[in-house]
Amino acid sequence: AQSVSQHNHHVILSEAASLELGCNYSYGGTVNLFWYVQYPGQHLQLLLKYFSGDPLVKGIKGFEAEFIKSKFSFNLRKPSVQWSDTAEYFCAVGSGGGADGLTFGKGTHLIIQP
Amino acid sequence: EAGVTQSPTHLIKTRGQQVTLRCSPISGHTSVYWYQQALGLGLQFLLWYDEGEERNRGNFPPRFSGRQFPNYSSELNVNALELEDSALYLCASSRDWTGRGQYFGPGTRLTVT
């Protein structure tokens, strides 16, 4: 069975700080990897996704993530955060065939202080 | 492009009752996924429908069921409601069976008393 671990449950940063949120997964086969974001009062939005190819993927709003297969990791990064990045961030893993739905991490609550 | 829509927004039911939740996928999407987001348990995969068929289900009892209609909209039915069924139920749609990019709706908040 797949599992996803997000190491940081709560992160507090100041504006302009750099961000890195950790995500490790456990799965033996081909995986699709995702980061979703849930802004206060809004529903889950797809931030970025990785299926194959270049392990460095860029998403919306300046976010990027790097897939390191040997480490089973898919960490989310942003060089300079803004107050509007305050949200809950979820890492998710899907099998290559989509059959199992997505397995989500517990989420990281990010607070950006002005 | 309209997103995934779900109805109702909120629902309050009594233990033992039955409930039906509805989801309309993004136009052109054929796969619909249902997830439960319960307090303290995170998002858990419930059911997957593609082209009108149930393709897979998560670790949930049979009283959680559903269907997908010819227009690809979907219903989630929960029978014999229990208190622990109180949760946010999320629907997501995907362009095809590969699940490459699931787009979520706003969810239905179910409270069981």
Secondary structure, 3-state, chain B: CCCCEEECCEEEECCCCCEEEEEECCCCCCEEEEEEEECCCEEEEEEEEECCEEEEECCCCCCEEEEECCCCCEEEEECCCCHHHCEEEEEEEECCCCCCCCEECCCEEEEEC
CB contact under 8 A, A101 and B58: yes
Q: Which of A100, A105, A107 sits opposite B45 (nearest CB)?
A: A100
Q: Which helix (H) or strand (E) holds A113?
A: strand A108-113
Chain A interface test: which of B31, B33, B43, B76 (most A C-beta within 10 Å): B43
Q: Look up residue A102 and give its amino acid.
A: L
Banded model confidence at residue B95, pLDDT cuts 50, 70, 90: confident
What are the tens digits of pLDDT across the range A63-105?
999 999 999 999 999 999 999 999 999 999 988 666 668 999 9
B90 CB neighbours in chain A (<8 A) are 43-44
d(CA A108, CA A8): 6
Q: Which of A44, A94, A99 sits opposite B55 (nearest CB)?
A: A99
CB B71 within 8 A of CB B3: no
**% of chain B residues with pLDDT over 90:** 83
Q: Which of residues 2-31 of A touch B (CB under 8 A)?
A: none
pLDDT for A96 equals 64
CB contact under 8 A, B42 and A104: yes
Please, which residues have CB within 8 angstroms of residue B40's CB and are 6 or more apart in sequence? none
pLDDT for A2 equals 81
Please, which residues have CB within 8 angstroms of residue A100's CB and are 6 or more apart in sequence? A2, A94, B45, B56, B58
What are the tens digits of pLDDT across the range A12-46?
999 999 999 999 999 877 888 999 999 998 999 99
CB B29 within 8 A of CB B72: yes
Dig out the tokens for A108 from the structure: 């990281």
CB contact under 8 A, A46 and B43: no
Banded model confidence at residue B39, pLDDT cuts 50, 70, 90: confident
Whether the pLDDT of residue B40 is over 70: the answer is yes
Average pLDDT, chain B: 93
